[in-house]
Amino acid sequence: MTRPTPLSGFPEWLPGQQIVEQRFVERLRSVFELHGFAPVETRAVEPLDQLLRKGETSKEVYVLRRLQATPEDTSDEQLGLHFDLTVPFARYVLEHAGKLQFPFRRYQIQKVWRGESPQAGRYREFRQADIDIVDRDEVGLHYDYELPLVAAEALAGLPIPPVVIHTSNRKLAQGFYRGLGVEDPAAVLRIVDKLDKIGPDKVVAALVAEGLSDGQAKACLSLAEVVTPDASFVERVAALGVSDPLLDEGLAELATVLSAASELAPGLLVADLSIARGLDYYTGTVYEGKMRGFEKSGAVCAGGRYDNLASTGTDRFPGVGISIGVSRILGLLFGSGALSASRPVPTCVLVALPDEARRRECDRIAVALRARGIPVEVAPTAAKYGKQIRYADRRGIPFVWFPGEEAGAGEVKDIRSGDQAPADPATWVPPAEDLHPTLG
């Protein structure tokens, strides 16, 4: 077999990096549950008509097809891997509405697949962590500031740079475009959403190509340049001289969200009217969180309000959600060497093996330590103690246990400092910071 070539966009973390990801997920899960969110996991595939019904995403969807499918068997041809967790969740709500209690608070930590161009922090297979709140017929505006606060609390407990969440409102932008006389506000939103990627000149050119006049295009850019840490964006927008009832509604909603968030977590939310979000299912508040020092790499969390995504017939379940890009955050930090685990294995203690005849004795020592929650393994071979210590050192294991001549007796050595002391497997405990790998 020839040496395999890595697939671009499909990351496989090394064990130490996998430990970091697990700690991330544990932290997110604990905070989400602290706020009353219940776990959900949806299937990996959805019907293509569901995946494609909101927004221009057809180029990003991986279609599912069996290798040995016959021409007569087309049952899989209309299935695709989900590209986010919001669309599957909307389907889940409609399918299980009779068994759910509303407002329904859910979290979902799962992999998704998206046919993007791979680059730093951007993958084709990646893990997301989503929280959403849905309700019947109407969902309160107070959830629009609650969700980014929960996401920020979860991230604040991790050893990563601060994340500042930029927010805007789709009604504000669409009302402004409508007040300018733009015929297709949704198309303008999709172009403005690319501002960070292509820059202002190309955005203006793209808007003109879409049919806007030069004045309309520059007015759209002027709106996108409004960034304030407080509700002063209202006056900034008024100074642009555009009026529309939908614009007023969006301004009022965004001012309410920003004011409430500022009281609870000063400085967390920033009004940034360039935030549009490219997917069409967003209808009100939208968010994009950027990690300090990595702003050019784009959003590491994003989301917003969707009033019509989960609806069929007379049933309507509006919602608000925010997604944390677990793989994106980790990929950026791993790539810059800014985050790692204190050791690449969970093992805290290696029980040294004097000779094979005493392996059962060493196994009993390991069992006694594990019974009290200490991660332990027994040395693979009865090599010289120096080799066993080097084995532990190469793997990052901080302690080596040397069995004594009498059953149960022994000594434990901190191979980092060289300190060694008598120890009893029934009572000995390592320092708290050494029990499990830590992040830093």
- For the chain, domains (ranges, CATH) are 15-335 (3.30.930.10), 349-435 (3.40.50.800)
Residue 111, both tokens: 């992999």
Q: Which residues contact 406 (CB under 8 A, 6 or more apart)?
A: none
**CA dihedral of 43, 27, 39, 303, whole degrees rounded to 10:** -70
Do the annotations mark residue 347 as ligand-binding? no
Do the annotations mark residue 223 as ligand-binding? no
Do the annotations mark residue 114 as ligand-binding? yes
CB 178 within 8 A of CB 244: yes
pLDDT tens-digit series, residues 187-246: 888 898 888 888 989 998 999 998 999 999 999 999 999 999 999 999 999 999 999 999
**Amino acid (one-letter) located at 44:** A
The model's pTM is 0.91
Do the annotations mark residue 381 as ligand-binding? no
Do the annotations mark residue 287 as ligand-binding? no
Do the annotations mark residue 84 as ligand-binding? yes
58 pLDDT higher than 80: no
184 pLDDT higher than 80: yes
Strands 410-414 and 420-422: antiparallel
Look at residue 312 in the predicted model and tell me its pLDDT: 83
Do the annotations mark residue 283 as ligand-binding? no
pLDDT tens-digit series, residues 350-409: 999 999 999 999 999 999 999 999 999 999 999 999 999 999 999 999 999 999 987 667
pLDDT tens-digit series, residues 285-297: 999 999 999 998 9
Q: What are phi and psi of 41, to 5 degrees?
A: -135, 125
H-type alpha helices, 129-264 = 142-156, 170-179, 185-192, 195-198, 200-209, 214-224, 233-238, 245-264
pLDDT tens-digit series, residues 270-327: 999 999 887 778 999 999 999 999 998 989 999 999 998 888 888 899 999 999 999 9
- Taking alpha carbons only, the member of 351, 405, 354 closest to residue 382 is 354
Give all strands of the β-sheet with 376-378 in edge-to-edge order: 376-378, 349-351, 399-403, 410-414, 420-422
Do the annotations mark residue 281 as ligand-binding? yes
Do the annotations mark residue 277 as ligand-binding? yes
